[in-house]
Structure 1
Amino acid sequence: MAALVLVPLARESGEALRERVTETALVETHSELADGLLPRVAALVVVAAVLLWWNYREVGGRTSVARTPKWVAIVLAVAALGAAMGTIVQAVRIGHSGAAAVWSEAGGAPAPAGGEDDD
């Protein structure tokens, strides 16, 4: 749940930094990849919530609730692995593109102030 708050905060921080550096293709790629993280994190949170609910329902000791078929557990496990791996892969891609932008020659240079030379 915390990630649903932290991802937008990190994005805002990145947008503020983006305004201070020279706009390059690497910086643009990093920004575009960052746009795709929140939906993946949201999917991961939804799957985790469903797993928590399902586990509570199955193990909670309620005998009046009918047991769900075994395939439901398999589907939930596959969904959890898919959501987790998608989130991890996207985070690694974002980090790599950010590192590439910073370590490139032009990516780490501050943007010119006001767009004019200060002679």
Structure 2
Amino acid sequence: MSTIDGLPAHILLVHAVVVLVPLSALLILLVAFWPAARRRLVWPTAILSVVALIFVPLTTEAGEWLEQRVARTPLVSTHTEIGDTMLPWAIAMAVVAMVLLGRHLLGSRRSGGRDAPGAATATGPGTTSGQPGGTVVTVVVGLLAVVVAAGSVFTVYRIGESGARAAWTGQFSQQARVGPP
């Protein structure tokens, strides 16, 4: 994909990544740590994380197309290098979202479907708030959720900051123009 309505696709697609990745990260944290959110948001979280994952390589590919059509500066090179680090984080985020969904579905199956919104959750041997695998698995999944959410959001920030520097450094004046445009 090269252009959308005459504009480089990268500068439009990047907005999807900038919104979807942090939103997915927030939802992953909610689903990992808040049972009421888990029951209501586990499916949207899984779907949104996969959609974010799909947009990352599309945006990267569009960025590589654009890279061949702009001046090759150190700032563009830095942005390109950092941009390549987003895909592993997006994959990890989708995997964690799928693990959360899988644990939720297993917990719902074990509780006989009582894990519906407002219903009691299963407890007993091998479960923690209705989550299969016990406390150790719950803690490990929670830690993975925190690491993946924080890493993904930080990576989006780093990529966006480097892209803004590449696009705008030397392109504006510190002084406002006086007079008609």
Structure 2 length normalisation: TM-score? 0.54
Alignment deviations for residues 40-78 of structure 1 (CA, whole Å, 9 cap, x no partner): 100111111011101221233248x95322121111111
1:53 is aligned, of 95, 102, 114, to 102
Tell me which stretches of 4 or more aligned residues in structure 1 moved more than 4 Å. none
- How far, CA to CA, are the matches of 1:105 and 1:66 in structure 2? 60
Aligned counterpart, 1:2: 51
- How far, CA to CA, are the matches of 2:135 and 2:169 in structure 1? 51
1:15 is aligned, of 64, 68, 84, to 64
- How far, CA to CA, are the matches of 1:20 and 1:7 in structure 2? 20
Aligned counterpart, 2:142: 77
Alignment deviations for residues 79-101 of structure 1 (CA, whole Å, 9 cap, x no partner): 01111111110000000000011
Q: Which structure is higher in strand share? A: 2
- How far, CA to CA, are the matches of 2:84 and 2:97 in structure 1? 22
- How far, CA to CA, are the matches of 1:39 and 1:69 in structure 2? 28
2:167 is aligned, of 102, 106, 114, to 102
The CA RMSD over aligned residues, in Å, is 1.9
Alignment of 1:38-49 (within 5 A): 38-49=87-98
Structure 1 length normalisation: TM-score? 0.80
Aligned counterpart, 2:86: 37
SS at match of 1:10: helix
One-letter amino acid of the structure 2 residue matched with residue 76 of structure 1: V
- How far, CA to CA, are the matches of 2:136 and 2:153 in structure 1? 26
- How far, CA to CA, are the matches of 2:73 and 2:126 in structure 1? 58
Gaps of 5+ in 2: 1-49, 113-121, 128-132, 172-181
